[in-house]
Amino acid sequence: MQHMLEITGLKKTYGRPGFIVPAIEQVDLAVQAGQLLTLLGPSGCGKTTTLRCIAGLVRPDAGRIVIGGRVVVDVARGIFVPASERGIGMVFQSYAIWPHMSVFENVAFPLRVCRDRKYREPEIRELVGRALDMVRLSGTETRHATQLSGGQQQRVAFARAIVHTPSLLLLDEPLSNLDARLRDEMRVELKRLQASLGLTTIYVTHDQAEALDLSDQVALFQTGRIAQLAAPAEIYRQPASRYVADFIGAANFLPGIVEAAGNPISVRTSHGTVRCVAAAALAAGEAVTLSIRPETIRLSPNPPQNGENALAGIVTGRSFFGDVLEYGFDLGGHALRVRAAPHLEFATGQNLFAVFTPTDCLALTT
């Protein structure tokens, strides 16, 4: 399948001689046409700088960027196509719509300033009407930004970004300024919009829930590099490192030493031997960290008889979240988090076993 976006050897630093801060140390990725790729990570990890390099708002120090088969950046060859000539649409965190303009004129703006072609007024009316219909804002054409809610303003920003049918849509934390309920609603709308248009989309966020819900692929950043690039289910269930497991969702970690390699492998911990799967080939005697998701553990008064792992401990507390109960569980100096259905109630101070299958426990070396 054709790649709509290809990035090779991208690097960017900021600062001055003697005080250089690497924003992007090395980024390589390819995005298929029609996919939504999320650049995920904490503040300062390089995800937004990468997006701005794609957009043409930042000039990288090294690397090559190809959009739709066209080279828009090649530092070695001195190629740098301006942002206005890259055929992209972009939605910013702050909406960036003009308060003195009507909804219609905000959405029509990219068409009126387009350098590639001259749009006639009937064309502009048709394209703006189609874009507003896509974001479900038909009938608001004459209203001004100050008359709109935050969610409506963000929809105007989406309409403006897609009105000229860009080859690539770039979204820079577009939902972060909305309240939690509206953010969830807009996430559903964004999924619908992206799927119906089939637009190749690059989405930047620090919110793991957004990344897992929206994405075809997730690129998790760590200090200017991609720590793992994978589908949401894979990056959650098969994290490549402790950093990935810790950032994506919640995870329990247990240190251990490999006793015997195999499938599954056996790992000796301070709380007993655990059978698990490995993210990479491991040898006996190797130090590892076991990663176990809280929702894959069940609490039981009796050890299992079917080969599952069982670690003895005591319930130290619980928290009710409506659809789930989260328990604190002490193994004897090492705390676990355990999530269970709300009807499965255990008392604080109760001695139980934390039970989990070998396939729900992953041995990591980093």
* Cβ neighbours for 139, distance < 8 A, ≥ 6 positions apart: none
pTM attached to this predicted model = 0.90
Task: Say how far apart CA 8 and CA 53 lie, in whole Å.
Answer: 12
All residue ranges of the chain with pLDDT < 70 are 1
pLDDT number for residue 1: 59
Q: Is 218 exposed, middle or buried (0-12, 13-18, 19+ CB in 10 A)?
A: buried
* Cβ neighbours for 154, distance < 8 A, ≥ 6 positions apart: 91, 95, 174, 175, 177, 178, 186
Question: CA-based Rg of the chain, rounded to a whole angstrom?
Answer: 25
Task: Say how far apart CA 212 and CA 257 lie, in whole Å.
Answer: 32
Residue 151 CA to its chain's centroid (Å): 21
At 163, list the tokens. 């009105």
Q: Which of 250, 249, 267 is nearest to 258 (CA)?
A: 267
CATH class as words, domain 3-243:
alpha beta
Number of helical H runs and strand E runs in the chain:
8, 21
Task: Say how far apart CA 20 and CA 23 lie, in whole Å.
Answer: 9
> Do 3-243 and 251-364 fold alike per CATH?
no
Q: Give the three-class secondary structure for 113.
A: coil
Task: Say how far apart CA 350 and CA 228 lie, in whole Å.
Answer: 39
Q: What kind of fold does domain 251-364 have according to CATH?
A: OB fold (Dihydrolipoamide Acetyltransferase, E2P) (2.40.50)
Task: Say how far apart CA 160 and CA 282 lie, in whole Å.
Answer: 52
Q: Give the three-class secondary structure for 248.
A: coil
- What's the order of all strands across the beta sheet hosting 19-32? 79-80, 70-74, 62-67, 3-16, 19-32, 225-230, 217-222, 36-40, 200-205, 168-172, 88-91
**Which position has the token pair 């399948």?**
1
Phi/psi region, residue 224 (left: phi>0; alpha: psi -120 to 50; beta: rest), is left
Q: How many C-beta atoms surround the C-beta of residue 41 within 10 A?
A: 28
Q: Is 120 exposed, middle or buried (0-12, 13-18, 19+ CB in 10 A)?
A: exposed
Q: Give the three-class secondary structure for 59.
A: coil
Task: Say how far apart CA 91 and CA 114 lie, in whole Å.
Answer: 17
* Cβ neighbours for 10, distance < 8 A, ≥ 6 positions apart: 24, 26, 27, 28, 50, 53, 60, 62, 63, 64, 65
Domain ranges of the chain: 3-243, 251-364
What are the distances in angstroms from CA 306 to CA 26, 309, 355?
Answer: 46, 9, 11
